[in-house]
């Protein structure tokens, strides 16, 4: 089945500072986590030969076990804080192991993405870690010149960033698809089919409202529920899945037309119909939620079309905004959704992926947050 994954224009920022403290520090203000370790303590976790580490294709199970002991978590622990720490330490040790020296540094990460909402915040975090630590180790070049405020790496470097970010995702989620870290790396819109991820070459930027219903959900439970329905009612659910596939393919074709030509009202009409159809399909599959139904009803009252995003079962939804949608409609819709107890932002999809920034290119509010730590 074809699926389309799109990047959100809500950024995750990382600042890496070399220090002379003989300590490695991680600051994660979003989850109120501020920790440090002595470099000598971390060196003891490395195997006698650093060559045994640095395999970007599979996790080193022994290093993961040692890190779990260091952090003090059991195999069953899945809390955000512990997983974030493990991912950082694993990538840090693996990337620098081959050099024979572990550098003293402070890493601060702050994100506009809410955590635990099914929006790929852990993947954005892993992508930032991979890009920063690979750059700091000299594995990939530091690109910025005095005349540039932002820069992006080439295809080879981006692929390496993506593969290391995937290792971080495996530590955090166990068996991820690789889609979220790929979107975080390349940005834009990706096509996922039969395990193969293909970036769409040119994509339009689309305005959306992003709404967090704040209803907690479990991806594992939701996936199990869909599989159960498939087993019980294969003659019903399989055609639904085929239709979902057709929705994705039609959406891909429409987005391609919008990129090659000037987007027309008809393009937006098609996207709105596809959004409505897809949302109904997802409800049939059992991944909807009354809070998401409320989102769709509230936005439709303003002439806007919405669907769930991520695993469903609560979590978040997106609402498409046309270019001609009036500011008053947008603001009134945001207020309606906040009155329901939801969080809501206006943003866009199809944004660029990982970049290297000069301080002047980073949003002022991001710098203000990071400057505190």
User: CA–CA distance from 371 to each of 109, 142, 301, 357 (Å)?
Assistant: 11, 22, 42, 15
- Catalytic residue (choose from 7, 111, 180, 306): 180
CA 50/CA 335 separation, integer angstroms = 55
Q: What would the DSSP string read from start to end of 59-75?
A: --HHHHHHHHHHHT--T
- Catalytic residue (choose from 94, 121, 122, 306): 122
Return the CA Rg of the chain. 22
**Do 70 and 24 touch, CB atoms closer than 8 A?**
no
Q: At what angle do helices 290-300 and 265-285 cross, to 10 degrees?
A: 160
CA 53/CA 45 separation, integer angstroms = 11
Examine the residue annotation and report whether 228 is marked as an active-site residue of this protein: no
CA 357/CA 14 separation, integer angstroms = 10
Instruction: Give which of 217, 223, 214, 207 is closest to 319, Cα–Cα.
Output: 207
**Do 115 and 80 touch, CB atoms closer than 8 A?**
yes
CA 142/CA 134 separation, integer angstroms = 9
- The three-point CA angle 209-214-218 to 5° equals 110
What SS3 state is found at 48?
coil
Examine the residue annotation and report whether 339 is marked as an active-site residue of this protein: no
Name the residues annotated as catalytic: 122, 180
């Amino acid at each position: 089945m074809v699926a389309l994954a799109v990047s959100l224009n809500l950024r995750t920022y990382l600042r890496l500072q070399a220090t002379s403290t003989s300590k490695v520090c991680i600051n994660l203000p979003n989850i109120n986590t501020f920790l440090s370790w002595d470099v000598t303590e971390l060196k003891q976790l490395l195997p006698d030969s650093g060559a045994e580490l640095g395999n970007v294709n599979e996790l080193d199970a022994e290093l993961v076990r040692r890190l779990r002991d260091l952090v003090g978590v059991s195999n069953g622990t899945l809390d955000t804080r512990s997983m974030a720490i493990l991912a950082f330490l694993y990538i840090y040790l693996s990337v620098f192991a081959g050099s024979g020296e572990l550098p003293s540094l402070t890493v601060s990460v702050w994100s506009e993405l809410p955590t635990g909402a099914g929006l790929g915040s852990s993947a954005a975090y892993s992508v930032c870690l991979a890009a920063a630590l690979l750059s700091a180790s000299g594995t990939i070049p530091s690109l910025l010149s005095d005349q540039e405020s932002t820069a992006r790496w080439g295809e080879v470097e981006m692929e390496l960033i993506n593969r290391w970010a995937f290792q971080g995702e495996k530590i955090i989620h166990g068996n991820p698809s690789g889609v979220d870290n790929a979107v975080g790396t390349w940005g834009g819109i990706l096509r996922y089919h039969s395990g193969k991820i293909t970036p769409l070459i040119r994509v339009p930027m689309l305005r959306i409202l992003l709404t967090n219903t704040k209803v907690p959900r479990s991806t594992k439970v939701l996936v199990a529920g869909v599989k159960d329905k498939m087993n019980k009612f294969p003659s019903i659910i399989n055609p639904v899945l085929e239709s979902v596939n057709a929705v994705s393919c039609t959406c891909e074709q429409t987005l391609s037309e919008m990129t090659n030509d000037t987007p027309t009202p008809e393009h937006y009409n098609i996207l709105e119909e596809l959004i409505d159809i897809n949302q109904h399909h997802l409800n049939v599959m059992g991944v909807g939620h009354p809070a998401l139904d409320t989102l769709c009803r509230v936005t439709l009252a303003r002439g806007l079309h919405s669907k769930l995003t991520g695993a469903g079962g609560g979590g978040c939804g997106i609402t498409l905004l046309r270019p001609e949608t009036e500011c008053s409609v947008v603001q009134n819709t945001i207020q309606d959704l906040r009155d329901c107890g939801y969080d809501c932002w206006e943003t866009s999809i199809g944004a660029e992926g990982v970049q290297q920034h000069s301080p002047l290119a980073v949003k002022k509010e991001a710098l203000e947050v990071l400057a505190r730590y």
